[in-house]
Structure 1
Amino acid sequence: MRRFLALGAAALLAVSACSVGSNTGSGGDAEITFLTFETPNLTPAYWDAAIKRVTDKNPGIKVKKLVAPTADGRTSYAKQLLQSGQFPDVMIAVDSAGFAEAGNLYAWTPDELKDFQFPEANPVHGKYYQLPANTQTIPPIYYNRKMFADAGIAATPKTWDELVADAGKLAAKGFSPFTIGGGKDGFPSSMILSGLVSTEVYDTTPDWLTQRRQDKVKFADPAFQKAFSKLADLASKGYVDKTSVSRDYAATEQAFLDGKSAMYPMGNWFAANADSKKHDFEIGVFDFPTEDGKLVVPAYTGGGMIVNAKAANLDAARKFALGFQLDKDQLNASVKADGLFPAIKGYTPPADVGPTFKAGYDLYTKAVQQNAVVHAFRWETADDGLLPGMKDKVDQAAQDVITGRKSVADACAFLDTEWAKAG
């Protein structure tokens, strides 16, 4: 398998703090704080049930839940909490980069990582601070089967040219080809760019971001610009609606479910809502097309817990984190709620998963078997990832190209400039 991994102080806490169980730590219980985030899939009820599921099996632990103001801003929120002296004891899906190097995170031992499929995912100078809990393919493309049929598209595209041609057929029938978004959660606007860079640049240079950190390659190099130019081409043809970059994540997902457009490039977590939320058409899914039709599937393994090395109740924090990530009932809940592919040895999804999830899981399994998995650009973390703060810059660059505010060359130059500042 290829190398990958799938305010002020008072105001900060006022935004989102709530507790599950007692928040006093009385009666000898060890209290910990847990930073989460909310999405259309991961609702407050999901997190409360998940926390209760783990604490019921570990009755000596009490959890105070914190929620990041935006789903994609959880890492920056964790930084704010650190700076204000309120760094949480446990955090999920927060990038370990920066925190680990500064000595703020607990390094997991080989024994603690023994049950994970990819224990060496997301290293920071040879140590592992984030539990490699699940794999996410980012992005497959979900599609409206009825619109495809109405446009005379009999088979899903495998090459980029086929995808563009199909977008033209859809547009000719009056259908908007792609659903994108942005707003406060910028990542829906860069999903197509993530797929392009992953399948084209990473296919030939899988360690491209490592080389970028070594200043051996640049965003302005021809290979990266060539991939980026394909997003610009979609926008220039009107296949990507430039006015949609202000639409937030929840509204973006709902627009697809409401049949507003034919294709939705999004992480495999969308499958959970595709299988559970109301819509009046059948949803299919296909791998992100490549230039020559070769199978290349972008994925990220990680997204799990990190633990504050200076937590007052460090043992409880570690126990809660491992209990959350390894419990079979909790894994099943994460599959059904967020379409995750748990990267735990011996795990198999429940038999009653929905058809969209199953189709996406089968595509990923095939890619693993064919050694066709690469990093998902923008979603990598730790030593394999973008420098801190650069994910937002990638989203901004994608939006600038989609709206025509910047040319591809200018957007790539912008990324190189921001990289130099971040370094």
Structure 2
Amino acid sequence: MRRSLALGAAALLAVSACSVGSNTGGSGGDKEITFLTFETPNLTPAYWDAAIKRVTDKNPGIKVKKLVAPTADGRTSYAKQLLQSGQFPDVMIAVDSAGFAEAGNLYAWTPDELKDFQFPQANPVNGKYYQLPANTQTIPPIYYNKKMFADAGITAPPKTWDELVTDAGKLKDKGYSPFTIGGGKDGFPSSMILSGLVSTEVYNTMPDWLTQRRQDKVKFADPAFQHAFAKLADLAAKGYVDKTSVSRDYAATEQAFLDGKSAMYPMGNWFAANADSKKHDFEVGVFNFPTEDGKLVVPAYTGGGMIVNAKAANLDAARKFALGFQLDKDQLDASVKADGLFPAIKGYTPPSDVGPTFKAGYDLYTQAVQQNAVVHAFRWETADDGLLPGMKDKVDQAAQDVITGRKPVADACAFLDTEWAKAG
């Protein structure tokens, strides 16, 4: 099995690699590194090529061979395949450091290298920091179709969970599908509502819940987690979440919302970039994920940056490229416009010409920071703060099982506890 996995990774690598460098021309002195990327509706091949060139133009002598993960959500699994086949990339972006770091495969960033980041102590692994804490993402705010809300007589976005459920009923009565969800090969769109529920309800009262789960002090089957999960089941039972949509991949899910197929789209703040740039015939609004009592609680994740292979042949070039990519003002501006990111870099200010959806979401996040109302985003945490390796896919599966009615909430939670024991 391991041999076939390695051969599969080698075949994928052969068809997904291309070189991008500066305009200085190739020379014997160039230091070549491999860089694992992933593609989404926002992060296209053209985006990555331009980003790499932007950095290598300012760092002549570095040549980059771009690698592309087969799926956006499978990039960490793909990195594991490449490691097993002896082709571990030199630099990887938004790949979970857990597992790789403990095995000695990743370079640990020094305090001096982290001095320009707002949250240098994000995502620790046994007290060391292997992933550059480059961006903050709110996961998930809820984007909505303002025209559908107005047609349904909804005059203001909901702040409490009961208000959200009531509004969903009004939308359904008007003939609109309340929520856009997906899944398919990407998985995570199906668990977005669950992420919001656990973050705002469980983490709000027990911010270290996942740490306690690692210590076996709490379980998924405990009442607090089941109570949050049951609200997703209730939405599905009322027909507010279309159970047939869990097979729809991420790109198709986003397009369905932009095409006006439903009224609300729970998704990470990166959607704002496409909401502001892609064609649609309605105004997009955004509101924070509602809470049980209306208290402001905003789930967010800081990280998603680059990790570097500790055994890279050109380690200095890999480190220089990674830091150059994450700290360059022009590249940060490009990432904001392409992927709606909130760069977690000291002194950084987004460009003045960002779109209205991005600005609205950024303002919501800024208010949450000012009110100390930010919590971890369940499922999206990494390293010592995150789920055990392999558990993100299990969370997606559990959400899909509940949405489709294949499992009641109690069985889905028991499944997560069983899989956790296997992963540990």
TM-score bucket (shorter structure): over 0.9
Match of 1:348 in 2: 349
Return the offset for 1:267. 0.0
Q: Any conservation in 1 of the 2:22–2:57 contact (CA below 8 Å)?
A: no
Return the offset for 1:3. 42
Q: Deviations over 1:328-381 (max 9, x none)?
A: 000000000000000000000000000000000000000000000000000000
Q: Any conservation in 2 of the 1:68–1:74 contact (CA below 8 Å)?
A: yes
Normalised to the residue count of structure 1, the TM-score between the two structures is 0.98
Return the offset for 1:146. 0.1
Unaligned 5+ segments in structure 1 are none
Q: Structure 1 residues 6 and 355 mapped into 2: Cα distance closer, same or farther (>3 Å)?
A: farther
Give distance in 2, aligned partners of 1:15 and 1:378.
31
Give distance in 2, aligned partners of 1:84 and 1:165.
52
Q: Deviations over 1:4-34 (max 9, x none)?
A: 9994243131341111139997421000000
Report runs of 4+ in structure 1 exceeding 6 Å deviation. 1-6, 22-25
Q: Any conservation in 2 of the 1:194–1:376 contact (CA below 8 Å)?
A: yes
Q: Any conservation in 2 of the 1:6–1:375 contact (CA below 8 Å)?
A: no
**Secondary structure of 1:6 counterpart:** helix
**Secondary structure of 1:62 counterpart:** strand
RMSD over equivalenced CA pairs, Å? 4.8
Q: Deviations over 1:47-100 (max 9, x none)?
A: 000000000000110000000000000000000000000000000000000000
Match of 2:63 in 1: 62
Q: Structure 1 residues 183 and 3 mapped into 2: Cα distance closer, same or farther (>3 Å)?
A: closer
Return the offset for 1:276. 0.1
Q: Structure 1 residues 225 and 413 mapped into 2: Cα distance closer, same or farther (>3 Å)?
A: same
Q: Structure 1 residues 5 and 310 mapped into 2: Cα distance closer, same or farther (>3 Å)?
A: closer
Q: Structure 1 residues 9 and 395 mapped into 2: Cα distance closer, same or farther (>3 Å)?
A: closer
Give distance in 2, aligned partners of 1:62 and 1:15.
19
Q: Deviations over 1:290-320 (max 9, x none)?
A: 0000000000000000000000000000000
My pick for the range that moved more, 182-191 or 5-14, is 5-14
Q: Deviations over 1:131-185 (max 9, x none)?
A: 0000000000000000000000001000000000000000000000000000000
Give distance in 2, aligned partners of 1:117 and 1:304.
13
My pick for the range that moved more, 13-22 or 180-189, is 13-22
Q: Any conservation in 2 of the 1:6–1:134 contact (CA below 8 Å)?
A: no
Give distance in 1, aligned partners of 2:4 and 2:109.
19
Aligned pairs, how many? 423
Q: Structure 1 residues 129 and 87 mapped into 2: Cα distance closer, same or farther (>3 Å)?
A: same
Give distance in 1, aligned partners of 2:118 and 2:21.
32
Match of 1:16 in 2: 16
Unaligned 5+ segments in structure 2 are none
Q: Any conservation in 1 of the 2:7–2:85 contact (CA below 8 Å)?
A: no
Q: Structure 1 residues 214 and 387 mapped into 2: Cα distance closer, same or farther (>3 Å)?
A: same
Return the offset for 1:382. 0.1
Return the offset for 1:241. 0.1
Match of 1:422 in 2: 423
Q: Structure 1 residues 5 and 189 mapped into 2: Cα distance closer, same or farther (>3 Å)?
A: farther
Q: Structure 1 residues 308 and 23 mapped into 2: Cα distance closer, same or farther (>3 Å)?
A: farther
Q: Structure 1 residues 124 and 403 mapped into 2: Cα distance closer, same or farther (>3 Å)?
A: same
Give distance in 2, aligned partners of 1:4 and 1:119.
39
Normalised to the residue count of structure 2, the TM-score between the two structures is 0.97
**Secondary structure of 1:64 counterpart:** strand
Give distance in 1, aligned partners of 2:34 and 2:18.
10
Q: Any conservation in 2 of the 1:88–1:308 contact (CA below 8 Å)?
A: yes
Q: Any conservation in 2 of the 1:2–1:371 contact (CA below 8 Å)?
A: no
Give distance in 1, aligned partners of 2:223 and 2:59.
54
Q: Any conservation in 1 of the 2:368–2:374 contact (CA below 8 Å)?
A: yes
Q: Structure 1 residues 250 and 370 mapped into 2: Cα distance closer, same or farther (>3 Å)?
A: same
Q: Any conservation in 2 of the 1:5–1:302 contact (CA below 8 Å)?
A: no
Q: Any conservation in 1 of the 2:6–2:85 contact (CA below 8 Å)?
A: no
Q: Structure 1 residues 204 and 171 mapped into 2: Cα distance closer, same or farther (>3 Å)?
A: same
Return the offset for 1:106. 0.2
Q: Structure 1 residues 176 and 5 mapped into 2: Cα distance closer, same or farther (>3 Å)?
A: farther
Match of 1:114 in 2: 115
Q: Structure 1 residues 140 and 3 mapped into 2: Cα distance closer, same or farther (>3 Å)?
A: farther
Q: Any conservation in 2 of the 1:117–1:343 contact (CA below 8 Å)?
A: yes
1:238-253 matches, cutoff 5 A: 238-253=239-254
Q: Deviations over 1:264-284 (max 9, x none)?
A: 000000000000000000000
Give distance in 2, aligned partners of 1:239 and 1:361.
28
Q: Structure 1 residues 23 and 9 mapped into 2: Cα distance closer, same or farther (>3 Å)?
A: farther
Q: Any conservation in 2 of the 1:2–1:372 contact (CA below 8 Å)?
A: no
Q: Structure 1 residues 267 and 220 mapped into 2: Cα distance closer, same or farther (>3 Å)?
A: same
Match of 2:374 in 1: 373
**Secondary structure of 1:412 counterpart:** helix
My pick for the range that moved more, 14-23 or 2-11, is 2-11
Give distance in 2, aligned partners of 1:23 and 1:213.
49
Give distance in 1, aligned partners of 2:4 and 2:247.
31
Match of 2:388 in 1: 387
